[in-house]
Amino acid sequence: MTTVVRIRVLSVLAVALLWELLALSGAGADDFFPHLWTLAAAFGDVLTSDFAGDVGVTLFQLFWGASIGIVVGLVLGLLLATRPLVREIVEPLLVYLSTVPKIVLYPVFLLFLSVGTESKIAMAAFGAFFPVVLHTLGAVSDVRPVWLNAARLLHTSGGQRMRHVYIPAMAPTMFAGVRLGIATSIIGTVMAESKAADEGVGYRVIFYYSQYQIPQMYVVLLLVFVFSVLVAVGLDRLGRVLRLGGGHRTDREISL
Amino acid sequence: MNAPTDGAAGTAPALVIADVSKSFGDQTRRVPALGKVSLTVARGEFVSLIGPSGCGKSTLINIVAGLIDGYEGRVTVSGAPLDGPHPSIGMVFQDDSTFPWLSTLQNVEFGMRMAGVNATERRERAMEMLDLIGLRSFADRYPAQLSGGMRQRVALARALAMRPEILLMDEPFAALDEQTRMVLGEELLRLQEELQQTVVFVTHNLGEAVQLSDRVVAMTARPASIKAILEVDLPRPRDSSIVSSDRYGELVAHLWSLLREEAITAFNQRDAAQAGAVR
Ligand SMILES: Nc1ncnc2c1ncn2[C@@H]1O[C@H](COP(=O)(O)OP(=O)(O)OP(=O)(O)O)[C@@H](O)[C@H]1O
Ligand SMILES: [Mg+2]
C-alpha cells in the first residue's frame, strides 16, 4: 500500500522533473515548455480570473449530461436485456453508432439545440450513453441461469427477479459502464466547449491558446487532468464500498 | 366427487407423477428425453433417482420443479395439479446457485424476504437453518469466501428455510470432491433423521442412494423410464456406520446389477452420437 503511494508520488515528481529538464533545454519554441515557476505564477493568474465561473458551467453541463446519458443507458439497456427479439435488432445498431465519433454530431446539436449549455449537455449525454447501454446489454450474460431457476424455486415474481437477481448480478458490469461513461462525458463536454462556446473549461483552454498565454493553458489542462483522475479514483472507491469491483468488461469499443 | 376436504388433502401423497414423458426439439428432430414415468412419493419419504448419464433424470426433476413445461402426463402435488413452481416445493441444484452479492445469512433469508416474512422472524428462522447446517459462524461471509461444499450447504439451508413440503435435489454434491461429498452425505443423512423431509434426490452414486433413501428408483438409458424400484430395508435412524453392514453391501450390489446394462446402453448411445457427429 505505502509502496504504491510512494511509487505514485515518485512518478509525479519524475514527470515534473522531466518537464523542467525540457524547459531548461529550451526545446520547442519560446513557451512550449514553460518553467515550473512560470506555471506556478500562471496558476495564480488562472485562479484570480473568473475561472470558478467556467468550472461551474462545465460541472453543471457535465452533471446533467452524464446523468441523462447514464439513466437513459441503464433503463434502455435493462429493457432491451430482457427482450431478446428487440435486442437482436437494436444491439447491432447501437454498436455501430457507438463507433461513430460523437464530435461529428456536434454541429447537429448546435443546429437543433443552441451554442450554449444544451448542446454541451447533449454531447456529455451521448458520451455517457453508449458505454452504459452497451455494458448493460453485455451484463446480461453475467446472470447465470441457475440463479434465475433458484429464485423461481424460492417463489419470486418476475419483478422481484428483475430487482433482486438481474440487477445485482449485472451491477458490476453496469458500474464499469458508468465509470467509462462518466470518463467519456468529461471528454465530450470539454471538447464541445473548446469547439464553440463562450464559457466553460474547454473554452478557457482555447481562449488562453488564442491569447498565446501558454502557461495558463497548461494550468487549465493540468486541472482538467487532475479532475478526471480524482473522479476516476472516487468512482473506484465507490465501487469498492458498493462491492461492485467484479466488472472488468473493457472489450467494447468507445470513441468520441 | 373428489372435492378436496382437509382430511383428503392431508392423506394425498406428497407427489404423484403419472405417465409423464417429454421430448425436446421440434417435429423434424425430436429427442425423446423421458419415457413414460409413473411414481408416487409419500410424505416424509426419501426417494432417489439413479440412472445413466443423460438418461433424463434432470428432465424429470425439473418437470416436477415446474421449470419445464410442454410435457405429457400429469403431476400432482398434495393432490393439486402442477402449474409452474409449486409453493410447497424447494430445490437444490447441481451447480452453485448461491447469490454471490448476498452474505450467507442474506442468502438463507432471500426466499423469506421475497415472501414478505418480517425481519425478526426471518432472522430467527435463518439462524436456525444456519445452526442446522453448522454455518452460523459464517453468517456474514460471502459465497466467494466459502468452499464449494459450504456453498451447497447454504443453498440447502436457503431451500429448507422456506419449509418446503417437498425438497428436490439434482445431484447436489456432484460438483464437489469425494471427501466433501461424503461429509455432506453424512450431514444430509443426519438432517433427514431429524426433519423427516420429503425428498426426491438425483444421484450417480450407488452408495449414496442406498445410504440415504427409503426407495431407490433405477432408471433406464434415454429415454428414461423406471427399470426397477429398490426398497431400502435398512433400519432408521441410520448413521454413516450403515455402510459397513452386510445388507448395505447387498443392496448396492443389487442396484448395480440393475443399472449395469443401462449404463452400457447409455455408453453405446453416446458413442453412436459421437460417431454421428463426426460423420
Ligand atoms: N433443453 C433441452 N433441449 C434439448 N435437449 C435436451 C434439453 N435438456 C435435456 N436435453 C436432452 O435430454 C436428455 C436427458 O437430459 P437430462 O439432463 O435430463 O439427463 P440426466 O439424466 O440429468 O443426465 P446427467 O446424469 O448427465 O445429469 C439428454 O440427451 C439431453 O441432451
Ligand atoms: Mg442431470
Contact B97 A146 (CB under 8 A): yes
Contact B93 A149 (CB under 8 A): yes
Q: Give a yes or no: residue A77 inside a domain.
A: yes
Q: Give a yes or no: residue A144 inside a domain.
A: yes
* Residue B126 · residue B140 · CB < 8 Å: no
Number of domains in chain A: 2
Contact B162 A154 (CB under 8 A): yes
Q: Are residues A84 and A163 in the same domain?
A: yes
pLDDT at residue number B10: 58
Contact A155 B99 (CB under 8 A): no
Contact B95 A144 (CB under 8 A): yes
**Considering only alpha carbons, which residue of chain B is nearest residue A150?**
B97
Q: Are residues A55 and A154 in the same domain?
A: yes
Average pLDDT across chain A, whole number: 86
List of residues 6+ apart from A31 with CB closer than 8 A: A212, A214, A215
Q: Give a yes or no: residue A166 inside a domain.
A: yes
CB-ligand 1 contact for B222 (6 Å cutoff): yes
More confident residue, A101 or A78: A78
Find the largest Cα–Cα distance for chain B. Answer: 62
**Ligand 1 centre from A38 Cα, in Å?**
74
Output the residue whose Cα is nearest ligand 1's atom 31.
B54
Q: List, for residues B251-278, the tens digit of each pLDDT value.
A: 999 999 999 888 888 888 877 776 665 5
Q: Are residues A101 and A3 in the same domain?
A: no
User: Mean pLDDT throughout B229-256?
Assistant: 92
pLDDT at A27 over 80: no
pLDDT band of B26, cuts 50, 70, 90? confident
pLDDT at A245 over 80: no
Domain that holds residue A204: 49-253
Cα separation of A177 and A72, whole Å? 13
Q: Are residues A80 and A187 in the same domain?
A: yes
Q: Are residues A93 and A138 in the same domain?
A: yes
φ, ψ dihedrals at B44, nearest 5°: 80, 5
Contact B97 A152 (CB under 8 A): no
**ipTM of predicted complex:** 0.89
Amino acid sitting at position B89 = I
CATH code of A133's domain = 1.10.3720.10
pLDDT at residue number A55: 87
For B36-88+164-267, the fitting CATH number among 3.40.50.300, 3.40.50.1980, 3.40.1180.10, 3.40.50.12240 is 3.40.50.300
Reduced to 3 states, what is the DSSP secondary structure of residue A160?
helix
Which DSSP string corresponds to B186-244?
A: HHHHHHHHHH--EEEEEES-HHHHHHH-SEEEEEPSSSB-EEEEEE----SS--GGGGG
Q: List, for residues B182-224, the tens digit of each pLDDT value.
A: 888 888 888 888 888 999 999 989 999 999 999 999 999 888 8
**Considering only alpha carbons, which residue of chain A is nearest residue B112?**
A154
pLDDT at B62 over 80: yes
CB-ligand 1 contact for B30 (6 Å cutoff): no
Q: Give a yes or no: residue A15 inside a domain.
A: yes
- For chain B, domain boundaries: 36-88+164-267, 101-163
User: Mean pLDDT throughout B116-134?
Assistant: 93
pLDDT at residue number B96: 94
Q: Which candidate in B68, B97, B98 is best for mutational testing of the A interface (most A CBs within 10 A)?
A: B97
Q: Are residues A206 and A125 in the same domain?
A: yes
Q: What is the DSSP letter of A190?
A: H
Residues of chain B contacting residue A156, judged by C-beta atoms under 8 Å apart: 111, 114
Cα separation of B170 and B183, whole Å? 18
Q: Give a yes or no: residue A44 inside a domain.
A: no
Q: Are residues A93 and A183 in the same domain?
A: yes
pLDDT at B63 over 70: yes
CB-ligand 1 contact for B115 (6 Å cutoff): no
pLDDT at B83 over 60: yes
Q: Are residues A1 and A67 in the same domain?
A: no
Residues of chain A contacting residue B97, judged by C-beta atoms under 8 Å apart: 146-147, 149-150
CB-ligand 1 contact for B251 (6 Å cutoff): no
Q: Give residue for cell 515528481.
A: A13
Determine how β-strand B46-50 pairs with β-strand B72-77.
unpaired
CB-ligand 1 contact for B54 (6 Å cutoff): yes
Q: Give a yes or no: residue A138 inside a domain.
A: yes
Q: List, for residues A171-212, the tens digit of each pLDDT value.
A: 999 999 999 999 999 988 888 888 877 888 888 888 888 888
pLDDT at A250 over 80: no
pLDDT at residue number B44: 92
CB-ligand 1 contact for B273 (6 Å cutoff): no
Q: Give a yes or no: residue A43 inside a domain.
A: no
> Which of A160, A169, A243 shows the shortest C-beta gap to B114?
A160
User: Mean pLDDT throughout B44-52?
Assistant: 94
What's the CA dihedral at B135, B172, B102, A131 to 10 degrees?
Answer: 150
